[in-house]
A and B are shown apart, each in its own frame.
Chain A
Amino acid sequence: MSNLTNQLISNILFWLSRKKWLVIAFFISVSLFYVETPEGLTSDAHRTLIIVVTALILIVSESIPLPAIAMLILIMEVVLGVDTADGVASSFMSDAVFFIMGSLMLAVAIVHQGLDKRLALSIINVTGNKTWRIAFGFVFFSALMSSFIGEHTVAAMMLPVALALLRYSGKKPHQTSNLSSLLLFSIAYGCALGSIGTPSGGGRNAIMIGYFSEFNIARISYWDWIKYAYPMMLIEVPIASSILWLTFKPKKKILDSAVRKLKVSVAKDGKLSSNQVLSIVIFIFVFFSWIFFSPSIGLGIVALMGVFFYLSFRLIDWQDLTRRTNWGVVILFGSVISLGIQMNETGAAKWLADSILNSLSNSIVDPSNLRWFFSVIVSGIMTNLLSNAATVAILGPIVLEMGGDPIILGMSTSIASAFAYLTIVASPTCMIIYSTGLISSKDYIKAGWKLFIISITLLLLISIFYWPILS
């Protein structure tokens, strides 16, 4: 009996030691509930902020599964009386959530076609066998493709190409080197840069577009976004390549035998299959639909159209699709976006924005110029700690209430959330390259801080000199 009790207590203590952040979040939220509502904040807004704090602690600590966090947010919204059950349900699903769901499913469908070998051949044919050209090619092609089909799709397809080159150049599994860091970071940073280029580059862009329209600020089309963001992406590609080359200069300056072996290995696969051709055609259709139809039918619906065709033409089975789609992320973003909308509707976002501006004006001379720095730096830091879409979903409503030009602030926040260069958990792309075991967590800081600072500077210059011309 005493053994059983001890075992039960031990199990509880183990649970508490693993879930300590859940316990901390619980006590913080209870304490905040009993704190007197600050002046200027409505009771609903106060309670919304309690949910925001709880959600942020749980997302960063990952002490409970993501879908559980999502459900907790929805439950708290209703139980704390922020909105009715129907109100929460309707804010849970939006075109941005459709887009996140559709793009994750499109990623699965595209990766499933096994186009990576074709891709490898195309890239190598363009770059040749010089290492610097290959690294530049990796950054460029990763950025180019991820700007249209999303970063993790590209990372999953590019990873075997990099590993093949490393293996064929004589590297053993687990053998780390500057060459492995150079090639893998070229993929990760290329994908991150590319994801700012178009709304379909990442779910966060769709979330910001959703907020622009939900809060009656502006209707930004797919093409408008490209005009704003694509030039920055193109400028950053050579900068990122140079930083990576200087940080991880490899001993081997030419990868001739690796490239030869890669070509031989890829050549075995023969020509493109009809399914592969069809899948490319469907994606091109989706891309043009995003440009021409998304202003009227929404980005999410276009993505779902793509999924519809992939399923209808049997290019992927529903079982394969559903097994590989990260539903936890879809549900979580649905609830975080719902929370963002509540932040706006209850006035919590406005109160936070005003409080931030007031505190800045106490310590620094002119707060109006610092709105931009606040949005970009907080977004850049948050994205490296949680996820870029969650960053935009939470931070978006606040920066859009800060005054000044909301489009510039919103676009800057969304773009800065792509500066996920510094940590492993910053984005799925960073995790994908880390999971190879070929790079250490210190490598992220080594190259990442330089690119982080340059990206912020470049974003500042573009928002001062280029964006005003567009508007």
Chain B
Amino acid sequence: MNVLIAISSKHHSEPTLKAGMKVANAFSASSTVLEVGEKINEFSMKEVYMARERIESWNFDRPGVDVLEWAFNYLCKEKLINDSSIERGFPKNTLVENSSRRSEVFLEKGKAKNISLIIRNGDIIEELRNEVQSGDYDVTVLGGSKSGNLSFDMVQYIESSIFIVKNFQTKKKNKILLAVDSSKGSKKAIKHCVGIANAFNIEVEIITVTQDVKLKKANQNITEYASKFLRRFNIKNKIIFEEGNPVDVIPKKAGNDHILVIGSSSRGPIKTFFQSSTPIKILKKCNCPILVVK
């Protein structure tokens, strides 16, 4: 399993990196820490690179390297990188440009528990999408954004599961709110929920919100399935039945003290493009970390 953790700066990305690494560890996954820098317009691209070369000739770091260095130090502090690498410090001289918009710091593979550090420059959605496609990632972890469109684009266009670390307080003991219904995505969400519950060592509340009475029975079945599945992994859980519109009820129930886990919509891409989908609507309203499982 591969986890991609997108960070922007040490001021804003500590919860994202912490939550992302917990998830990666829970799934014993390889993890890639990615910093997406500002998009440089084409008129200026070569000139900016020329200026960067001069900066590097003075032994100063190009923008973005300091963010990766901070991430490296964080990983060292958490003992996620082996001792010999820590002693040598951040290996900025191994930063290699793979393409005009992507550079990678080479850490000693195997010893660094399969961690990669990457810088990309450009449009955030485009860069994340390219990275996810080329690296075959299963989960992309990123910080919450005020822009609703960004969340929409993430869920709509990025093929991996998306974990948006919004308002995540590292010291607070959250619970998981697993939202399920009779759709296909829910079963996948239940499986991922096990990993998240183990990563954060927390309880799970399984919620199903019924709007249509006809679906009540099907929803009951899936909640029971989820409860049994979680018990098998010794994860404490309780079931909550609610009636109403899931888009209103779930964010309200999640508040800011849950990690919400939800399956992606089974709607086709065209319908989602024009009408959005329930997970995207919930994501826009939610004020807590949310994992949309694909």
Interface set of A (CB-CB < 8 Å, partner B): 6-7, 9-10, 13-14, 17-18, 62, 65-66, 104, 107-108, 111, 114, 116-117, 152, 155-157, 159-160, 163-164, 167, 172-174, 265, 324-326, 328-329, 387, 424-425, 427-432, 434-437
Judge whether B175 is part of the interface by a CB distance below 8 angstroms.
no
- CB of B51 within 8 A of chain A? yes
Give the docked Cα–Cα distance between A155 and B129 (Å): 33
With A14-B157, A435-B52 already in contact, the answer to whether A173 and B61 are too (CB < 8 A) is yes
Q: Please give, as numbers and ranges, the residues of chain B lying within 8 Å of A117 by CB-CB distance.
A: 58
Given the interface contacts A13-B156, A156-B50, does A431 sit within 8 Å of B44 by beta carbon? Answer: yes
Q: A residues within 8 A CB of B48?
A: 428, 431-432, 435
User: How many residue pairs between the two chains, A and B, have CB atoms under 8 Å in the bound complex?
Assistant: 122
- A residues near B45, Cβ cutoff 8 Å: 326
CB of A163 within 8 A of CB of B43, answer no
Decide: A435 near B42, CB < 8 A? Known: A9-B268, A159-B51, A163-B58: no
Chain A CB within 10 Å, residue with most, of B41, B63, B125: B41
CB of B38 within 8 A of CB of A437, answer yes
Residues of A within 8 Å of B123, CB to CB, are: 18
Contacts of A13 in B (CB 8 A): 156-157, 269-270, 273
> What are some 13 contacts across the A-B interface (CB < 8 A)?
A13-B157, A14-B129, A18-B123, A18-B125, A157-B54, A265-B58, A326-B45, A326-B47, A329-B43, A432-B44, A432-B51, A435-B63, A437-B37
Residues of chain A with a CB closer than 8 A to B37's CB: 435, 437
- Specify the chain A residue showing the minimal Cβ separation from B50: A156
A108 contacts B52, CB within 8 Å? no
Asked if B93 CB lies within 8 Å of chain A CBs, one says no
Q: B274's closest neighbor in chain A, by CB?
A: A13
CB distance from B129 to the nearest CB of A (A): 7
B83 at the interface (CB under 8 A from A): no
Inter-chain contact A156/B54, CB cutoff 8 Å: yes
Check A156 against B47 for contact (C-beta < 8 Å). yes
Among A6, A111, A328, A387, contact of B269 (Cβ-Cβ < 8 Å):
A6
Q: How far is the CA of A436 from the CA of B64 in the complex (A)?
A: 9
Q: Does B55 contact A (CB under 8 A)?
A: yes
Measured between beta carbons, the chain A residues less than 8 angstroms from B9 are 174
- A325 and B47 contacting across the interface, CB-CB below 8 Å: no
Q: In this complex, what residue of A is CB-closest to B52?
A: A435
When C-beta atoms are compared, the residue in chain A nearest to B55 turns out to be A160
Is B218 an interface residue, CB under 8 A from the partner? no
Determine the distance from Cα of A6 to Cα of B65 in the docked complex, in whole angstroms: 37
Q: Is the pair B46, A326 in contact by a Cβ cutoff of 8 Å?
A: yes
CB-defined interface of B26-67 with A at 8 Å, one 1/0 digit per residue? 000000000001101111111111111011011011011111
Asked if A9 and B269 sit within 8 Å, CB to CB, the answer is: yes
- By the criterion CB–CB under 8 Å, are B54 and A111 in contact? yes
Does B136 sit within 8 A of A, measured CB to CB? no
List residues of chain B with CB within 8 A of the CB of A160.
51, 54-55, 57-58, 60
Is chain A's binding surface mostly helix, strand, loop or mixed? helix
Given A160-B58, A329-B43, 20 additional A-B pairs, CB 8 A: A13-B270, A14-B129, A17-B153, A18-B123, A18-B125, A66-B43, A104-B46, A152-B44, A157-B54, A159-B55, A163-B55, A173-B65, A174-B9, A324-B46, A325-B46, A329-B42, A425-B41, A428-B43, A434-B38, A435-B63
Chain B proximity of A277: nearest CB distance (Å): 19
Query: Is B126 engaged at the interface, CB distance under 8 Å to the other chain?
Result: yes
The docked-state distance in angstroms from the alpha carbon of A157 to that of B54 is 7
Distance of A389 Cα from B11 Cα, bound (Å): 39
Determine the residue in chain B with the shortest Cβ distance to A433. Answer: B51
Who on chain A is nearest to B58 by CB? A160
Q: CB within 8 Å of A: which of B61-110?
A: 61, 63-67
Q: How far is the CB of A339 from chain B (nearest CB, A)?
A: 17
Given contacts A159-B51, A431-B48, contact A164 B58 (CB under 8 A): yes
Q: How far is the CA of A253 from the CA of B86 in the complex (A)?
A: 39
Of A13, A329, A435, the most chain B CB neighbours within 10 A belong to: A435
CB B262 to nearest CB in A, in angstroms, measures: 19
In whole angstroms, how far apart are the Cα atoms of A163 and B63 in the complex? Answer: 11
- Whether B269 contacts A66 by the Cβ 8 Å rule is no
B51 near A155 (CB under 8 angstroms)?
Answer: yes
CA distance A6 to B270 in the complex (A): 9
| B125 proximity list for chain A (CB < 8 A) | 18
CB neighbours (8 Å) of A111 from chain B are 50, 54
Give chain B nearest CB distance to A444 CB in angstroms: 14
Give the shortest distance, in Å, between B210 (CB) and chain A (any CB). 27
Known: A13-B273, A17-B153, A432-B44. A156 touches B51 (CB 8 A): yes
The reply to whether A437 and B43 form a contact with Cβ atoms under 8 Å apart is no
Task: Report the separation of the CA atoms of residues A430 and B52 in the bound assembly, to the nearest whole angstrom.
Answer: 14
Q: Which residue of B lies closest to A152 (CB)?
A: B47
Q: Give the most central of B43, B45, B46, B123: most A CB within 10 Å.
A: B43
C-alpha spacing A324/B48, complex, angstroms = 10
CA distance A208 to B241 in the complex (A): 73
**Pair B268/A6 contact, Cβ less than 8 Å:** yes
**What 0/1 pattern do residues 231 to 258 of B give for CB contact below 8 A with A?**
0000000000000000000000000000
Which residues of B sit under 8 angstroms from A107, Cβ to Cβ? 47, 50
A152 to B48 Cα, complex, angstroms:
9
- Among A114, A329, A431, which residue has its beta carbon within 8 angstroms of that of B57? A114
Interfacial chain B residues near A66, Cβ < 8 Å: 42-43
Q: How distant is the Cα of A324 from the Cα of B100 in the complex, in angstroms?
A: 11
Bound-complex Cα distance A152 to B42 (A): 14
Q: Indicate if the CB atoms of B60 and A62 lie closer than 8 Å.
A: no
Tell me the bound Cα distance from A17 to B126 in angstroms: 11
- Which residue, A66, A159, A265, A429, has most C-beta atoms of chain B within 10 A? A159
Given the complex of chains A and B, what is the CA–CA distance between A349 and B45 in angstroms?
32
Q: A62 and B55: CB pair below 8 A?
A: no
User: Which residues does chain A contribute within 8 Å of B41, judged by CB atoms?
Assistant: 62, 424-425, 431
Which residue of chain A has its CB nearest to the CB of B157?
A14
Chain B residues near A167: list those with CB within 8 A: 60
